[in-house]
Structure 1
């Protein structure tokens, strides 16, 4: 057994993984990684990317460029034109990101799952009674981005962004190991609620990017500010930005989770099941007929 496989096997042990990723000073580690990843020294960059590739399935063949200024530059890489075909069917929402599908399905009243056996309430996540009423008995999909995935996210349909609500919080890891141990984890972490109204139908679809350890930073193309641990601006940010289906909306500095919410009447596409991999532009939910 190689050294790589031995280390990987050790890190995959649940107790050790949870200890390493959640019992360290999370905020300090996140701020350090934000600084370190942007060092543009070639040796630091090359060694960092090499270590990252050693312990993940990082594949840069789809990246628009082959040379990166820093580890951070590699994290937020753009893809070659056409790398993610966008489903043209106006009757479906498409996935906003590359991800592994987590908990998904119908919201039971105002309760949904972060993982089997661990429920949480819409109010605790969204903090807005009007949105809670809107998504009562609606549909949701949890999309988990791994560290090696493409980290930019895109519009699920032709839409208009009306408002972003920033909610300060912690930086717990959001991997399945932590989700099985920390109740209401998504409701504890740093997050943003992006309210988007579909242009053709008027349905309000919300995207909730949830930050995590090492990734507590969200960039939105339509906001001049960066939403991160040092942000101290207004919680509710009115917006006026329009997007075409599949157009880039923003990115995580490293990667994390996006939860998509739709009102009652929407249905999940057949291919959207817990544990499956989905790509930007692939069908996610079907609009009411």
Structure 2
């Protein structure tokens, strides 16, 4: 472990992750106009948020900082890849990693990987669908649009909430904490698609006060106990390609999984690449 990791990563092991995230939730949902506008202006300035893309640019429109953080974009701000076999990027952000799932293992960073079985809550049948498939991990920073959308049309089959820690998901922590994405609290959504099974895994992080989906509302918290699973059959939601599927209340990471021989990422869809919601990131064989 480098000196940088000693100072940025090791202290996170002893932080009261969920207490701090609960405190952040209270702050970000505060509706005091002076406080929330000051907070919003600070984030816009620090991170260079492009308010020209926002549907509502007047800060008085937002009832709280979280309302601003999960803001809508103008119509047409994020065109969805039109080709029938194109995979649309599910979020604004930066590619953390993308590639094959090899022998059930997913690459995290140099020297670190984790299993699809761990990521998806320990259910062997759920994980088997993605054996030798492909994955993509996208990190959302505070400046990004924080709603998540469908890479292609899918019918929801299952959702599972897996409690866990809330380590940061910035690059330094991803490099320094083994099994990070399989340790943090997360919500895994499994869809049936023309490309076979698809998992969208919404990974929580420090100061992420909750994860929401459009069909369920807030899924987290609570953040302790055993995994909780919801199955969908006759009433299963069907979400079109490009449709909103969820959002982070504060920023984090989304991981996309597909089955074997079903998809191919574009050659330039590699670690470190900035991406925008809706852009073409690959093809599927459906």
Superposed pair shares fold, TM > 0.5 = yes
- 2:219 maps to which of 204, 220, 226: 226
- Counterpart for residue 149 of structure 1: 144
- The answer to whether the aligner puts 1:185 opposite 2:180 as a matched pair is yes
Q: Is the 8 A contact 2:5 2:176 kept in 1?
A: no
Change (3 A) 1:226 1:275: same
Hey, what's the Cα distance between the residues in 2 that align with 1:45 and 1:15? 34
Instruction: State the match for 1:287 in structure 2.
Output: 284
Matched, 1:84 2:75: no
Q: Distance in 1 between matches of 2:53 and 2:8?
A: 30
- Alignment partner of 2:257 out of 258, 261, 264: 261
CA contact (8 A) 2:86 2:281 kept: yes
In the other structure, the counterpart of 1:217 is 210
Q: Provide the rounded CA distance (Å) in 2 between the counterparts of 1:285 and 1:24.
A: 39
In the alignment, which residue of structure 1 is the partner of 2:15? 24
The count of residues paired between Structure 1 and Structure 2 equals 275
Any idea what SS the aligned residue of 2:23 has? helix
Q: Name the SS of the counterpart of 2:176 in structure 1.
A: coil
Q: Distance between the aligned counterparts of 1:242 and 1:116, measured in 2?
A: 37
Is 1:241 equivalent to 2:241 in the alignment? no
Bigger mean CA deviation after superposition, 53-62 or 92-101: 53-62
1:131 aligned residue: 126
Tell me the CA shift for residue 135 of structure 1. Answer: 1.1
1:50 to partner: Cα distance: 2.4
Report the Cα distance in structure 2 between the residues aligned to 1:75 and 1:286, rounded to whole angstroms: 31
Give 3-state SS (helix, strand or coil) of 2:165's partner.
coil
SS in 1 for 2:52: coil
Contact 1:21 1:213 in 2 (8 A): no
Tell me how far apart the structure 2 counterparts of residues 133 and 57 of structure 1 sit (CA, whole Å): 42
SS at match of 2:19: helix
Separation (CA, whole Å) in 1 of partners of 2:162 and 2:227: 10
More deviation, 29-38/233-242: 233-242
**In structure 2, what is the Cα distance between the partners aligned to 1:42 and 1:227?**
26
Task: Provide the C-alpha distance between the structure 2 equivalents of 1:79 and 1:20, rounded to a whole number of angstroms.
Answer: 36
3-state secondary structure, aligned to 1:35: helix
CA distance in 1, matches of 2:37, 2:28: 11
Please give the TM-score of this superposition, normalised by the length of structure 1.
0.89
CA distance in 2, matches of 1:225, 1:15: 34
Give the secondary structure class of the aligned counterpart of 2:35. helix
Normalised by the length of structure 2, the TM-score is: 0.90
Change (3 A) 1:251 1:46: same
Q: Distance in 1 between matches of 2:265 and 2:178?
A: 25
* 2:248 alignment partner, one of 240, 252, 267: 252
How many angstroms does 1:202 deviate by? 5.8
Contact 2:160/2:230 (CA < 8 Å) preserved in 1? yes
Tell me: CA distance 1:16–1:51, structure 2 relative to 1, closer, same or farther (3 Å). Answer: farther
Match of residue 10 from structure 1: none
